[in-house]
Structure 1
Amino acid sequence: NTLWKVFTSMCTAIFLADMVVQTVTDRADKHGARSGNIKETMRLYLRTHFTTDLIGSFPWDLLLLVLVGDQSWLDYARIPQLLRLIGFRSRLQQWHNGVKNEDVVNVVYALVRVTIIVHFLSCLTAIVARETRDHLDSDNVLDDWIGFPDYYFEGEAVRYIASLYWTSSTMYGERTNPVNDATLVHSLL
Structure 2
Amino acid sequence: MTYSISAWGIVVESLFITDIIFSFRTAFIDKSGQVIADGRQICICYLKTWFTVDLITSLPFDLLTFTLDVKLVQMIKAVRLLRLLKLGQKMDRYTQYTSGVLILLMSVFLVVAHWMSCIWYVIGQMEMNWDVGWLRRLGNDINMPYHAVGAVNAPSGGPPIHSVYITSLYFTLTSLTRVGFGNVSPNTDAEKIFCICIMVLGALMYAVVFGSVTTILQGMYSHLSPRRTRTDDLPASLRQKLLEHIQITINNCLDIIEDQKKD
TM-score, length-scaled by structure 1: 0.71
Deviation at residue 44 of structure 1 after TM alignment: 1.4
Please identify the structure whose Cα radius of gyration is greater.
2
State the one-letter code of the partner of 2:163.
V
User: Using the alignment, how far apart are the partners of 1:111 and 1:92 within structure 2?
Assistant: 14
CA contact (8 A) 2:13 2:60 kept: yes
Measured at CA, do residues 145 and 155 of structure 1 come closer, stay the same or move farther in structure 2, by a change above 3 Å?
A: closer
User: Given the alignment of the two structures, is residue 164 of structure 1 paired with residue 169 of structure 2, yes or no?
Assistant: yes
Equivalent position of 2:59 in the other structure: 58
User: Paired residue for 1:186, among 187, 190, 194?
Assistant: 194
CA contact (8 A) 2:5 2:62 kept: no
User: Using the alignment, how far apart are the partners of 1:21 and 1:12 within structure 2?
Assistant: 14
User: Using the alignment, how far apart are the partners of 1:177 and 1:51 within structure 2?
Assistant: 42
Measured at CA, do residues 165 and 159 of structure 1 come closer, stay the same or move farther in structure 2, by a change above 3 Å?
A: same
Equivalent position of 1:117 in the other structure: 112
Cα deviation, 1:124-172, whole Å, max 9, x if unaligned, reads 2233334443x344xx35xx36632448723333322222111113426
User: Using the alignment, how far apart are the partners of 2:82 and 2:11 within structure 1?
Assistant: 18
Aligned pairs (5 A) from 1:34-53: 34-53=35-54
Secondary structure of the residue aligned to 1:124 is helix
Secondary structure of the residue aligned to 1:147 is helix
User: Paired residue for 1:147, among 114, 137, 141?
Assistant: 137
Measured at CA, do residues 158 and 71 of structure 1 come closer, stay the same or move farther in structure 2, by a change above 3 Å?
A: same
| Unaligned runs of at least 5 residues, structure 2 | 147-157, 198-263
Cα deviation, 1:37-63, whole Å, max 9, x if unaligned, reads 112111211222222222333233532
Measured at CA, do residues 177 and 124 of structure 1 come closer, stay the same or move farther in structure 2, by a change above 3 Å?
A: closer
CA contact (8 A) 2:125 2:135 kept: no
User: Using the alignment, how far apart are the partners of 1:158 and 1:123 within structure 2?
Assistant: 13
Q: Paired residues, what number?
A: 175
Equivalent position of 1:8 in the other structure: 9
CA contact (8 A) 1:53 1:84 kept: yes
State the one-letter code of the partner of 1:38.
G
Secondary structure of the residue aligned to 1:169 is helix
State the one-letter code of the partner of 2:17.
L
Secondary structure of the residue aligned to 2:6 is helix
State the one-letter code of the partner of 2:79.
P
User: Using the alignment, how far apart are the partners of 2:127 and 2:106 within structure 1?
Assistant: 31
- Higher strand fraction (1 or 2): 2
User: Using the alignment, how far apart are the partners of 2:5 and 2:175 within structure 1?
Assistant: 25
State the one-letter code of the partner of 1:48.
T
Cα deviation, 1:5-37, whole Å, max 9, x if unaligned, reads 221232122112212221x22224289853121
Measured at CA, do residues 17 and 131 of structure 1 come closer, stay the same or move farther in structure 2, by a change above 3 Å?
A: farther
User: Using the alignment, how far apart are the partners of 2:13 and 2:85 within structure 1?
Assistant: 16
Measured at CA, do residues 168 and 14 of structure 1 come closer, stay the same or move farther in structure 2, by a change above 3 Å?
A: same
State the one-letter code of the partner of 1:106.
V
Q: How many percent identity over aligned positions?
A: 20
